[in-house]
Structure 1
Amino acid sequence: MKYIHVFIFFFYSLNIVSQTITNYTEANGLISDFVECIAVDKINPSIIWIGTSIGLQKFDEANLSWTTYTQANYPNMPSDNIKVIATMKNGDVWIGTDYGAGKFDGTHWTTYNSNNGLINNQVRSIDEHPDGDVFIGTISGLSYFSGSSWISVGAPNLHWSGVNATAFDSNGDVWISSPLGG
């Protein structure tokens, strides 16, 4: 078993040596060194979205420029503490926080929370179904948005603590994961 571990370590160290690593910090543009999540834009892969504990940033790799989104300059964001980011095929960017989900259309933020559709405000995952619906995993279950309305599915009789991730198979079926099984 030790031989396998050494081989794997050797393989990964060779792979890393051949890569150029650039470290972004507060010193060169990052809003915070505490990064919670990251996503590559589906429309423009040179755009990297970075979620931190004090805001969302868009890094334009082609122009080496940063754009910062916080509640101070976008009061409709649900929170500055970004837990999850998902980019969509239509260009929208969704964020998940402990105060709900936010959808950014490139100009405006729309917040979704337990008052207007989500099953719970503590968002753990956001994914886009192949048909374009947005699935949001929370600590109380799953909510999905068809573009006009929300449908939420909870499971109070199951022994779980929410939805950590979703995936979609070739049939369009939804798979969910939970830290306590599922």
Structure 2
Amino acid sequence: MKKIYLINILFVITIVCNAQWTTYTTSNGLIGNDVKSIAFDTLGNKWFGTGDGVSKFNGTTWTNYNTDNGMAEANAMSICFDEQNNLWCALSNYGIQKFDGTTWTNYTTGDGLANNKARSIIADAQGNIYTATWGGGVSKFDGTTWTTYNSSNTPTGICHNNIQVVKIDAAGKLWVGMECGASVFDGTSWTIYDQTNSSLIGNDVQDIFFDATGNTWFTTSLGVSKFDGTTWTNYGTTDGLPHNDIKSGVQDDLGNYWFATYGGVSEFDGTTFTNYTTTDGLGSLLIRTIAKDDEGNIWAGNFQAGASVHVVGNRINENNYYGKYSIYPNPSTDIINIQIPNNNFKNMIFEISDIQGRVIKKGTSTNGSFNISGLSKGLYTIMVNTENDIFVKKIVKD
């Protein structure tokens, strides 16, 4: 059995065995129990977008934001971080907001946003902000200029102006989830996927995510679809999912898939679904969103029942292995090296993810060295899988 080491430069990691779901609610400090979105900053803080505002949790202390201290509206539908660690919020009726840690800046239709009803928000590696709006299509904001994609000016890509989700893949392509299917924009042309021209399980696309091997996953109200670029594979309750209404999905560091459903949380190892309910510690069976933090833990946003966390695997105290598992130099401009016991680099593979969790580089190494010169400056997470161990560490590209 492989051991899993999570070596984090920002946290002391303690041993956790037989972990269960732990739920946080307003009684613990969360600002609102209706958790709609979860994101993580570069310092490892957990952020929660709720119907009553935004909460930041550093593992001990909660810091809450609402209209009393800067937000234009408390109903945060979606949150994300850009490459500069600014928080962006999609608000239900008041556009979008940027929070730099001190100041909240609001953007609405008066500034160029397509519609003030924002539903999803994402940042790409170049700093562009994409917003899914309800009734106005998709807005792109580069910090100066606004660009709108809607059913009128982009009929080959936007089949309906009610947009549910926007995502960016590892290649920088924009993916859009709508009530009429999904589309992808490569910067030049659009491609639409729906039930008429593909094997997409349902047109009501509620979330899109990408796995480490390049597959694109679509969660819909009728089940889940996986698309490898050629072949579609669909999953529903007959395959083991607890409910066909799938709100969100994510892949963990071990390659397993986690789904937020209206029947609890479901874990999929590629063969078998394992389902979790309130008897396992979830706050509710109605799960709005699911996300993975930098430590590999899975967070679920519950409908009116707070946020629940599940620790994946066993955590080993970093101090017990100091000097045995390390990456240097860190920060680095080009080559980083790994130090492991006995220098056993046999069958070593690695994956590097950005702060949005997107896998942007992967490969193998026979000598424990990796070239990161092609990466943009910033904070990344590297997962190294050797013949005996798996460990994860933050790295900084200068």
- State TM-score, norm by structure 2: 0.41
**Equivalence for 2:253:** 170
Aligned partners of 1:94, 1:85: CA distance in 2, in Å?
6
How far 1:149 moved relative to its partner?
A: 2.0
Runs of 4+ in 1 over 4 A off after TM superposition: 2-6, 156-159
Q: More helix by proportion, 1 or 2?
A: 1
Question: RCO higher in 1 or 2 (8 Å CA, sep ≥ 6)?
Answer: 2
Deviation readout 1:25-78 (Å, 9 max, x if unpaired): 11111111111111111x31x1000111221011002xx111111111111123
User: What amino acid sits opposite 1:69 in the alignment?
Assistant: Y
Deviation readout 1:111-139 (Å, 9 max, x if unpaired): 11112121010111100112221110011
1:51-70 map, 5 Å: 51-53=132-134, 54-61=136-143, 64-70=144-150
Shift in CA distance, 10/141, structure 1 to aligned 2, threshold 3 Å: closer
Q: Paired residue for 1:12, among 61, 64, 68?
A: 64
Q: Paired residue for 1:108, among 173, 189, 192?
A: 189
Shift in CA distance, 29/171, structure 1 to aligned 2, threshold 3 Å: same
1:12-161 map, 5 Å: 12=64, 19-41=102-124, 43-44=125-126, 46-53=127-134, 54-61=136-143, 64-76=144-156, 77-115=158-196, 116-156=198-238, 159-161=242-244
* Secondary structure of 1:12 counterpart: strand
Shift in CA distance, 175/19, structure 1 to aligned 2, threshold 3 Å: same
Aligned partners of 1:3, 1:39: CA distance in 2, in Å?
30
Aligned partners of 1:80, 1:40: CA distance in 2, in Å?
20
Shift in CA distance, 4/52, structure 1 to aligned 2, threshold 3 Å: closer
Shift in CA distance, 149/3, structure 1 to aligned 2, threshold 3 Å: closer
User: What amino acid sits opposite 1:110 in the alignment?
Assistant: T
How far 1:3 moved relative to its partner?
A: 9.5
How far 1:10 moved relative to its partner?
A: 8.3
Aligned partners of 2:234, 2:27: CA distance in 1, in Å?
48
* Secondary structure of 1:57 counterpart: strand
Aligned partners of 1:136, 1:173: CA distance in 2, in Å?
16
Shift in CA distance, 20/117, structure 1 to aligned 2, threshold 3 Å: same
Q: More strand by proportion, 1 or 2?
A: 2
User: What amino acid sits opposite 2:137 in the alignment?
Assistant: G
Aligned partners of 1:165, 1:113: CA distance in 2, in Å?
18
Aligned partners of 2:129, 2:122: CA distance in 1, in Å?
6
Shift in CA distance, 4/97, structure 1 to aligned 2, threshold 3 Å: closer
How far 1:158 moved relative to its partner?
A: 5.8
**Unaligned 5+ residue runs, structure 1?**
none
* Secondary structure of 2:154 counterpart: coil
| Paired residue total | 174
Percent same amino acid among aligned pairs?
31
Shift in CA distance, 122/94, structure 1 to aligned 2, threshold 3 Å: same
Q: Is the 8 A contact 2:236 2:244 kept in 1?
A: no
Aligned partners of 2:253, 2:242: CA distance in 1, in Å?
28
- State TM-score, norm by structure 1: 0.85
Aligned partners of 2:242, 2:172: CA distance in 1, in Å?
36
Aligned partners of 2:150, 2:141: CA distance in 1, in Å?
15
User: What amino acid sits opposite 1:163 in the alignment?
Assistant: I
